[in-house]
Structure 1
Amino acid sequence: MKMNNSIKFNWIYLFIFIIVIEVIGSLSALFAGNIKTIYNSLNLPVLSPPDYLFGIVWPILYALIGIAGYLIYYTPSIQQDKVINYVLFFSQLVINFIWSIIFFKYDAYWLGFAVIIILDLIVLVCIIHFYKTSPLASIMFIPYFVWIIFASYLTIGVAILN
C-alpha cells in the first residue's frame, strides 16, 4: 500500500515505532517514582487535572509521537533535512524522558520548569521543520505541543506554590 505516493507504508514498522516510544515514556515514569502519589501531595495551581487524566493523555501523545517518528524516518527527503529531523526528534524525546525524573524524583521544580521550556521550544521547532518532510508528522506533534504548553503552566505553578 502506498501513502502519499512517496513512502511505502508498513504497519509492522509503524507498530514498532509506537511501541518503542510508549516503552520510553513508561520507563521515564518508572524512573520518576510514584508520580501519582507525588502529584497528589503537591500544592497544585488552578486548572490542575485529576491524576488519572495523565494516564489517558500520555499514551495517546506517545502514540502520536511514534507515528510522527515513523513518518519522518520513512518519508524520502534530502539528507540534511533527515539529519535535522532525527536530531530534533531524539532531542525532544530525551528531554521529555528526563523531565519527569527531574520534576518528580528530585523535586527540582524550577529546573523542571527550565527543562520543559526547552522542550516546548524544541517541539515547536519540530513542528515547523517536520512540515518540510511530512506535513502529517508535523500535525501529529500539535496535540503534544499543546499539552506540554499546559504542562509548562502546571510546572511553574507547582514551582511557585511549593
Structure 2
Amino acid sequence: MAHSSSTPGSGGFDRRDLLWAAGAVVAVNALGAAPALLAGPDSAWFAALEKPAIYPPGWLFGVVWTALFTLLGVAVYLVARRGLDARAVRVALGLFALQFAFNLAWTPVFFGAQDLLAALGVIVVLDVLVAATLWAFARVDRRAAALLVPYLAWVLFATLLNYRFWALN
C-alpha cells in the first residue's frame, strides 16, 4: 500500500490516499458491525438483565462504535501506508488483526452464548491487545496511535460495564 503522495516527504495526501483511507474505514466498519447482525441487545435475555447504573442509552452504542471504527480505519490506513515491507508495520497490523478478532468475538460470547463471565475474559484480553496495538502503532505513526486512544478508553469502559453486568446478574 506504500506509495508516494503528491509531494514526496511532505506527508500530504492525494486522491489515491483518500480512496485507500476510505476503503479502510468502510472495511473496518463493515467487519465491526457484522457480529451485531448475528446477536445483539434486542433479545428477551438481555432485556431481563439488571442493568448497571452506568449503562448508557442503547442508541449511543451504534454512534460510538461507528465513530471508533472510523478512527480505527484511518489509523490502519496510516500504518499500512508506511509499507508492509517494514517489520514494525507488519507487527502493528498483526496486533491490530488479533485485537480486532477479540473485539468481534465479544458480541457472540456476550449476547449469543449469553455468558457474561466468558465475555469478561474476552474483553480483558482485548484491553491488553488494544494497549499493545496502540504501542505498536506509535512505533510506526504517532497519529495512528492517537486515533486508538478513544477506542482504548471505550473498551476499558465496556470492560467495566461487562463486569458490572456479571456482578449484578
Normalised by the length of structure 2, the TM-score is 0.87
Structure 1 residue 8, shift from structure 2 partner:
5.2
User: Would you say the 8 A contact 1:92–1:122 is kept in 2?
Assistant: yes
Please tell me the root mean square deviation across aligned C-alpha atoms, in Å. Answer: 1.9
Q: Say which of 35, 46, 51 aligns to 2:41.
A: 35
Structure 1 residue 6, shift from structure 2 partner:
4.6
Change (3 A) 1:107 1:28: same
For residue 53 of structure 1, what is the aligned residue in structure 2? 60
Q: Mapping of 1:10-159 within 5 angstroms?
A: 10-32=17-39, 34-37=40-43, 39-76=46-83, 79-159=86-166
Equivalents in 1 of 2:41, 2:62: separation in Å?
11
User: Would you say the 8 A contact 1:6–1:76 is kept in 2?
Assistant: no
**Unaligned 5+ residue runs, structure 2?**
1-5
Equivalents in 2 of 1:30, 1:41: separation in Å?
20
User: Would you say the 8 A contact 2:36–2:107 is kept in 1?
Assistant: yes
Equivalents in 1 of 2:82, 2:93: separation in Å?
12
Bigger mean CA deviation after superposition, 39-48 or 143-152: 39-48
Bigger mean CA deviation after superposition, 53-62 or 67-76: 67-76
Equivalents in 1 of 2:9, 2:59: separation in Å?
37
Normalised by the length of structure 1, the TM-score is 0.91
One-letter amino acid of the structure 1 residue matched with residue 41 of structure 2: I
User: Would you say the 8 A contact 1:40–1:51 is kept in 2?
Assistant: no
Which is greater in Rg? Answer: 2
Structure 1 residue 79, shift from structure 2 partner:
2.4
User: Would you say the 8 A contact 2:84–2:90 is kept in 1?
Assistant: no
User: Would you say the 8 A contact 1:6–1:75 is kept in 2?
Assistant: no
Aligned length: 161
Equivalents in 2 of 1:89, 1:3: separation in Å?
27
Change (3 A) 1:100 1:69: same
Structure 1 residue 158, shift from structure 2 partner:
0.7
**Unaligned 5+ residue runs, structure 1?**
none
Identical amino acids, percent of aligned pairs: 25
Change (3 A) 1:128 1:4: farther
